[in-house]
Structure formats: C-alpha cells, structure tokens
Amino acid sequence: MEIVIRNAVREDMSSVLQLIKELAEFEKEPNAVEVTCNELEDAGFGDQKQFDCFVAEVEKKIVGMALLYFRFSTWKGRTVHLEDLIVTEKMRGKGVGQALYRRVLKFALDQGVKRVNWVVLDWNKPAIEFYERSGATILSNWWQVEMEEPALKAYIGN
Amino acid sequence: MEIVIRNAVREDMSSVLQLIKELAEFEKEPNAVEVTCNELEDAGFGDQKQFDCFVAEVEKKIVGMALLYFRFSTWKGRTVHLEDLIVTEKMRGKGVGQALYRRVLKFALDQGVKRVNWVVLDWNKPAIEFYERSGATILSNWWQVEMEEPALKAYIGN
C-alpha cells in the first residue's frame, strides 16, 4: 500500500472538514464543529494564512490529515503546534498516522523551531506511549484553560 | 495607584524580557529563557508579526505584561492564546494582573474569536480559582506534549 503525504491545497478542505467531523463524532461531540469549509479555505489559503496542512492519500483518496500552525514561546521563541492529526477509521493501523507524524516533525525541523507542541487526552494510553517512544515528553501538570465566547461576554460586560 | 494598560512598542521588549526572566527564576528555571531581546523585537514588530503584547505601567514604569497570539481550532476557528501574563513580584496583589487579564479578554472579544486558551500549573490553586470564578473552564484531562529540538533530530534522523 503506497501512502502519499503532500501539502494540502484549497480544494482538499472539504475532505479535511469531513475528517474533522469524523473525529468529533468519534469523540461523541458531533455538534462541536462550528468551522465551515469556506472558513478552512480562507484560513489556510487566504491573505492571512492561519495554518499549514498536510494530507495523506492512498490510491488518490484522502485518508488522513495533519493541521498545524506556529506559536510563540517566551522561553524558546517560535514553535510548531500540531492541532490535529486524523486518520479515517478504516485506514488506522496501516502506518498513515506515523507517516503524517514524521512529515510534521520534519517540517518543524526544517523551519528551525526548537519545539513542537500538541495535546493528548489522558485516557489515550496508546497515543501517549507512541509519543513517549518517539522522544516526546508528556506534561501532565500543565492544564488547559478555556474561556468561550459567552463567558467572555459575561466577564467583560458592556 | 493608577494602572495604565497599553499596547507594547518595540522599545518595551527589554522590560518585557526582564519580566519573562523574573518568572523563569521564580519557577526555578533561570536558564530556560533562550529568547533574546532582538528576537522579541523581530517577532513582535517585524514583517512577520508573531504575537501581540500589552504592558502595565505604574508611574511610567513597566510592572507587568501579557503576551498573546492567535491559534486555529479545527472546531471553533480562530482563537486567542494567552501565552504569558506576568506581574513583577513586588507589585502583585494590587490589581495589575486583573487589569491585564481584562484587557486580553476584551481584545479577544473585539477580535471576534469564539475562545481564549491558556495553561495553568496544577498546583497553582489561587490562579485556578481566579480563572474559574471569571468563567473559564479547566480541562485537566488534556495533557501537553512537547518534543524539543534534540528529540526531533533523533527521531527524524538525517
């Protein structure tokens, strides 16, 4: 089975959105995806590029994707953040995820960043073990904090 | 005591770096700060702007700062990430942190993002309580993963 990893183009965004939705359904949050195909096209390929994306193809069909962007660490400077790495369910366990993972890390190295970041769910033991085997460090003592728009509005008031 | 919050300018970066180093020392990692003043100036005010920064002044002296940038959520679209919010030690407990916090959240709201993210150390109970009271949610089940440059090189090979 040949796996081709390439840079995503604007026309891939509908397939990419399908993968995003597939993952949200798997995580039992099918309604959490508010992003539209147009937004992905603008954000990835418009004047103000907000992310880079790779897709994985098998027999010319998109079966996986990785989406990343740059962040800025006040200790390390520019870093790469891997936001999502998704492989469609029936193609898992065939090396597609690992090929995407390698491509992202190679991209980061080529960009000269000192660090790549991402997050993992605490119950996802196979992923945690895979990341650790590859040389990544899990920081379980740094917790995510999020404030959504309604809470923002309530706090800031008018 | 009058607290003035304003947009940082290039000339503030040496004071900002001093605050970054003060926090690193407080966290017992004085050598972790690899960023230089020039890098902050370029990243914040060069051709490719990588962050926004606010500073807090009391009697024309910089006593705090907040540094943030945009991220891209595949569920929510554009979000604001608050990377650092630092108040110099002797000025804590006087409302400087809260004034910076409000300014960051107001900025995010004005930018129309649906979410603001940041991270907190699990032992920092006063911060966690403050964030929760303000309407933020703590996600202790999402762990940070990091791969530093030496591990990247080892994994990708040559």
Report percent pLDDT > 90 for chain B.
94
Average pLDDT on A137-142 reads 94
Which positions of B are annotated as active-site residues?
A: 131
Pick from B72, B131, B144: which is nearest to A43 by CB?
B72
pLDDT score recorded for residue A158: 55
How far the first Cα of chain A sits from its last, in Å, is 58
At residue B146, the pLDDT reads 97
Q: Which distant-in-sequence residues (6+ apart) come within 8 Å of B94 by Cβ?
A: B1, B3
Query: Closest by alpha carbon to B140, among A56, A123, A32, A46?
Result: A123
Contact criterion met (CB < 8 Å) for A144 and B117: yes
Q: How many CB atoms lie within 10 A of CB B12?
A: 21
| A118 contacts B145? CB cut-off 8 A | yes
* Interstrand relation of B4-7 and B61-73 (parallel, antiparallel or unpaired): unpaired
What does the buried/exposed string (b/e) look like for B51-80 if buried means 16 or more CB atoms within 10 Å of the residue's CB?
bbbbbbbbeeebbbbbbbbbbbbbbbbbbb
**Measuring CA to CA, which residue among A35, A23, A13 is closest to residue A88?**
A23
The answer, yes or no, to whether residue B158 has pLDDT greater than 70, is no
Contact A67 B77 (CB under 8 A): no
Rg (CA), chain A: 17
**CB pair distance less than 8 Å for A154 and B140:** no
In this complex, the residue of B34, B77, B141 whose CB is nearest that of residue A77 is B34
For residue range A90-124, what is the model confidence (pLDDT) as tens digits? Answer: 999 999 999 999 999 999 999 999 999 999 999 99
- Determine the pLDDT at residue B81: 98
CA distances to A50, A72, A117, B30, B70 from A47, in Å = 9, 21, 25, 39, 15
- B24 → chain A, closest CA residue: A75
Phi, psi of A91 (to 5 degrees): -105, 10
Name the pLDDT band for B126 (thresholds 50, 70, 90). Answer: very high
Smallest Cβ distance to A139: which of B43, B115, B143? B143
Nearest chain B Cα to A155, which residue? B134
Distance CA A76, CA A49 (A): 23
Phi, psi of A26 (to 5 degrees): -60, -40
Q: Which of B81, B109, B143 to mutate to test the interface with A (most CBs of A within 10 A)?
A: B143
Instruction: Say if the Cβ atoms of B134 and A155 lie within 8 Å.
Output: yes
B25-77 pLDDT tens trace? 988 888 999 999 999 999 999 999 999 999 999 999 999 999 999 999 999 99
Q: What is the mean pLDDT of residues B97-118?
A: 97
What is the model's pLDDT at position B110?
A: 96
pLDDT bucket at A27, cuts 50 / 70 / 90: confident
How many angstroms separate the CA of residue B133 from the nearest CA in chain A?
10
Q: Tell me which chain B residues have a C-beta less than 8 angstroms from the C-beta of A70.
A: 50
Q: Which helix (H) or strand (E) holds A95?
A: none
Q: What phi and psi values does residue B102 have, to the nearest 5 degrees?
A: -60, -40
